[in-house]
A and B are shown apart, each in its own frame.
Chain A
Amino acid sequence: MKVVYEKCLHCGCCVGSCKQNAIYLNDYILEFNDACNRCRRCIKICPVGALSLEE
């Protein structure tokens, strides 16, 4: 996952929306683990569009 930290509000919206428990908000840094199945939920629900899939 790619995070644009200039947009990120550290709000935890992505963390709580993840069905795979693949995201952890470690202070101001989002950590993604291998459970991520690229479902794009977090990307869609981010209120400011800070997330995208890495190409």
Chain B
Amino acid sequence: MQTYECDIVIVGAGPAGSVAAKYAAEGGLDVVLLEKRAEIGAPLRCAEGISKKWLSEIGMEPDPKWISAEMDGAIIVSPSGHTFKLDESQAGNEVGYVLERHLFDKALAEQASKAGAKIWLRTAATGVIKEDGLVTGVYANRMGEKIAIRADCVVGADGFESQVGRWAGIDTTLDLTDMCSCLQYRMVNIDVEPNYCEFVLGSAAPGGGYVWIFPKGKGIANVGIGVQGSKCKSGADAKYYLDKFINEDPRLNKGAVLEIVGGAVSTCPGLEETVTDNVVLVGDAARLIDPITGGGICHAARSGMYAGKVLTECAKKGDFSKEALSTYEKMWRDKMEDKLWRNWMAKEKFAALSDEVLDDLVLAIKESDISEVNVYNLLKVIKEKYPDLVAEFEDMI
């Protein structure tokens, strides 16, 4: 078996993997980034909506090449059809761009390459190399050839279906209430607001999920749904609810589907443990996804950056032990954990609400004078009307 040596091997060239590769390579490390697919960024597994402000944090300038459409705001639709429209001045951090992910991911990979990382496509990790109980690299299948890649540290950036964490003995399993089964259609010939992301709440998407309509310009939109795992009964629940929604919406039911996208998101507050000796998990693999919005690109890229920086420091001391890598864990927890927990607790509550209460809440928000809409401010309004709903995590608001 052909054996390769490097400092860091990263499994998965999505945003988390590419950004980790970039920062580790910039730190002078010999980085190999593996992607099992034949193309970075495809096939799509994403609704493609992001907020704007974090891009600069990871050194990305907005580029029309990978932005499909810039949003002016968002529309929240209650179960019985009350709408609450926010423009950009109110919507603040929660709206921004709808991406062209296959180009965005390639742009991030390009940055990793420029920093010196090697990128190997069509290379699937098949297991971790273990010596004396320690992970010392990965086995992979590279264009049909079985190879071993030895490295000081393995980064699991392998998404919702993450295997690296499991192989390394990290518990990545989720409760069914902490994941959503998702389906999305890329649609044309539909009649939706071109610059507003729409979120439809309630029993259209059972269990605290929602239906999204994210316009991509040129008459195209991503129309998708997330259904909470415990509400999925017999298989194809996401398809059933999405088809039902589209059939009943006159703006959509004459449209055509150009692409079908399946997937899942975690809606937990992040893993209890995201590092072990010689192994780091980033992005979806670490379950770093906002439990309310299901948005994970920002968390993926930022956790990738933290990992890349920490790996650089670890390399200086030649120490990739769990203890040394815990600096990474501390970094993402400092920046993200409070919000992940608050939104997880809010999700737990909202998942149980009836359509009637959701209608009331949307009306309450509509009638309030929120200056900037974000999850924090929305929870404040809800607290005034339904204090019981937020009582358990009041101190986090």
Task: Decide: B238 and A47 in contact? CB cutoff 8 A.
Answer: yes
Number of interface residues of B (CB under 8 A): 32
Rounded to whole angstroms, the CA-CA distance of A52 and B159 in the bound complex is: 24
With A9-B260, A17-B229, A41-B176 known to touch, is A51 a contact of B162 (CB < 8 Å)? no
Give A1-55 interface residues, CB cut-off 8 Å to B. Answer: 9-13, 15-19, 21, 24-27, 41, 43-52
Task: Decide: A11 and B232 in contact? CB cutoff 8 A.
Answer: no
Q: Mark B165-187, 1 if CB is under 8 A from A, else 0.
A: 01000000110100101110000
Task: Decide: A46 and B181 in contact? CB cutoff 8 A.
Answer: yes
Rounded to whole angstroms, the CA-CA distance of A51 and B237 in the bound complex is: 12
Rounded to whole angstroms, the CA-CA distance of A23 and B125 in the bound complex is: 15
* A48 CB contacts on chain B under 8 angstroms: 183, 235-236, 238-239, 262
Rounded to whole angstroms, the CA-CA distance of A54 and B336 in the bound complex is: 43
Which one, B173, B239, B264, contacts A19 given CB within 8 A? Answer: B173
Rounded to whole angstroms, the CA-CA distance of A52 and B234 in the bound complex is: 9
Task: Decide: A11 and B262 in contact? CB cutoff 8 A.
Answer: yes
* B120 CB contacts on chain A under 8 angstroms: none
Query: B161 within 8 Å of A by Cβ?
Result: yes
Rounded to whole angstroms, the CA-CA distance of A13 and B160 in the bound complex is: 7
* 9 A-B pairs closest in CB distance: A49-B236, A12-B161, A11-B262, A9-B262, A49-B235, A47-B238, A15-B161, A16-B160, A13-B264
Q: Which residues of B contact A (CB under 8 A)?
A: 36, 43, 45, 124, 159-163, 166, 173-174, 176, 179, 181-183, 229, 232-239, 260-264, 266
- Between A and B, 21 residue pairs with Cβ closer than 8 Å are A10-B43, A11-B263, A12-B161, A13-B160, A15-B160, A15-B163, A16-B160, A16-B174, A16-B179, A17-B174, A21-B166, A24-B163, A26-B124, A41-B176, A41-B229, A44-B234, A45-B179, A45-B229, A45-B235, A49-B234, A49-B235
